[in-house]
Structure 1
């Protein structure tokens, strides 16, 4: 029997890998235990930077254990990434290499890794699709598609509005820094075993929660639709009126979705989460669960 991990807060972060100082594409939402509606966290100065998110997360460690979901890939497909790493290297070796190459890039930016003459050779960075590019995916992305929960992009595809690679590289730098700053208080799942009292950092895919809330491929456009999604995720309504941005809607729905998923013990042990995923490639929180594990209850 799996014991439920106790968390005091549930935090969801809609992420961005853009170059710059502050980004409209970052939104942070949180909720507590129970069924109270999630709320948006106001960014310092009106806009979030990745450094500001790091500082906020680090400061929040003093407020009790949180389940934090970040909308970015926590690793790369190792069929490609492993070619340029030493034999036997794991995800933390990848993060160290990313940090070494990107250390001078401000605000945890990850673009220099994708532009690197050795490590960057697997990234499709511009122009028509190259003949050598085979769109590599991690097992969790494949499982997400198989579950009908959405179609995550490959982190190696840096083309188009849905590209996620640079956001993932930036996120890995933030994860590495948080883990180094507070090793006893932070666990990055599934690479670390999460202990009671620790803040758990998990990879999320907001479309998964919107699918479970009955929105399919549709976006949430306004406060009425957001409240309908929250209700399906066992949350009370937020009561916003008028239009709601994609980033705010994703963060708010994901915060409620994290709280809903955390109540299901088997979410931490999906059948397909194998040793390769735990050591190398990571896992999207909530992917790979059977209908009996909770997806059929909505």
Structure 2
């Protein structure tokens, strides 16, 4: 398996917000040389469906594309995604299929029908004080890869938590709908083995890229072009044009695309210690987590 075969690196800062188009979605693309990364369709307000279609139809050849979302839910800690539910899926692919099927009537890859399902809802912390009787409190149940993120100084929240500025649960569930709809056309590592050619999807956590660029975990967000270009320089990429403020969604995507170019060449990141075949099939992994 050649880890240096990718020619392009894309990063998607994803969103699970209500509605069709989202200021919180940004897509960046980096080539395989030390050029500057660039936003894809700068100024465009993306929908989740447009990102799905771009990945399927407009992705450059041999692209490693990272999505800032959780590709699965905690499973190893309880031996099931939804303990006590007879229809609890057996693996990540079955989970994606269940979410997409229950949300078939929800527009824009939304997931309201899933989190409001009477059995699923028992496991989630939802808005307006609605906490399921099986939600475990605190930050919620964590995957093995999220425990590994903690060793880097990160503070991940459970994908079962759908409340608060730090939550990524809704975006992760919406992302699972996308993953179900692209399966068979794009492999998703490590649920699928990394192919010898072609493009592939990985889960990313933009804080890991920011740490590699010299930022601190508590100050990972970049909102100024000068700070952005300092981070890109630390990752071996050229600066992007511009001065003054930049949204943290755009900077997250740009920095992470640049980081992927360097990180993808590190064999150790493709073989983390905690990634067993069972974890790969059920929980997946965050690329870059040790």
Is TM (by shorter chain) over 0.5?
yes
The aligned counterpart of 1:143 is 148
Whole-angstrom CA distance in 2 between matches of 1:265 and 1:234? 19
Whole-angstrom CA distance in 1 between matches of 2:40 and 2:179? 20
The aligned counterpart of 2:63 is 66
Mapping of 1:1-298 within 5 angstroms? 3-42=2-41, 46-61=44-59, 63-78=60-75, 79=78, 81-83=81-83, 84=85, 86=87, 89-126=90-127, 127=129, 132-134=134-136, 135-148=140-153, 150-180=154-184, 182=185, 186-216=186-216, 217-218=218-219, 219-288=221-290
Cα deviation, 1:89-118, whole Å, max 9, x if unaligned, reads 111111111111011111111222111101
2:64 is paired with a residue whose SS is strand
8 Å CA contact 2:161–2:169 kept in 1: the answer is: yes
Q: CA deviation at 1:151?
A: 1.3
8 Å CA contact 1:111–1:169 kept in 2: the answer is: no
Moved more, 20-29 or 111-120: 111-120
2:58 is paired with a residue whose SS is helix
Whole-angstrom CA distance in 2 between matches of 1:200 and 1:226? 26
8 Å CA contact 2:30–2:37 kept in 1: the answer is: yes
After the TM superposition, list the runs of 4 or more consecutive aligned residues in structure 1 that deviate by more than 4 angstroms.
85-88, 128-132
8 Å CA contact 1:224–1:239 kept in 2: the answer is: no
Cα deviation, 1:134-175, whole Å, max 9, x if unaligned, reads 210001011100122x11111111111121111001101111
Moved more, 122-131 or 29-38: 122-131
Q: CA deviation at 1:211?
A: 1.4
Q: TM-score, normalised by structure 2?
A: 0.91
Pairs aligned (count): 280
* Aligned CA-pair RMSD: 1.8
Moved more, 243-252 or 270-279: 270-279
Distance 1:129-1:13 versus aligned 2 partners, 3 A rule: same
Distance 1:8-1:208 versus aligned 2 partners, 3 A rule: same
8 Å CA contact 1:12–1:68 kept in 2: the answer is: yes
Moved more, 52-61 or 165-174: 52-61
Whole-angstrom CA distance in 2 between matches of 1:10 and 1:88? 32
Whole-angstrom CA distance in 1 between matches of 2:46 and 2:99? 23
Whole-angstrom CA distance in 2 between matches of 1:121 and 1:90? 19
Whole-angstrom CA distance in 2 between matches of 1:27 and 1:109? 18
1:12 is paired with a residue whose SS is strand
Q: Which has the higher helix share?
A: 1
Whole-angstrom CA distance in 1 between matches of 2:54 and 2:87? 34
* Structure 2: 5+ residue stretches without partners: none
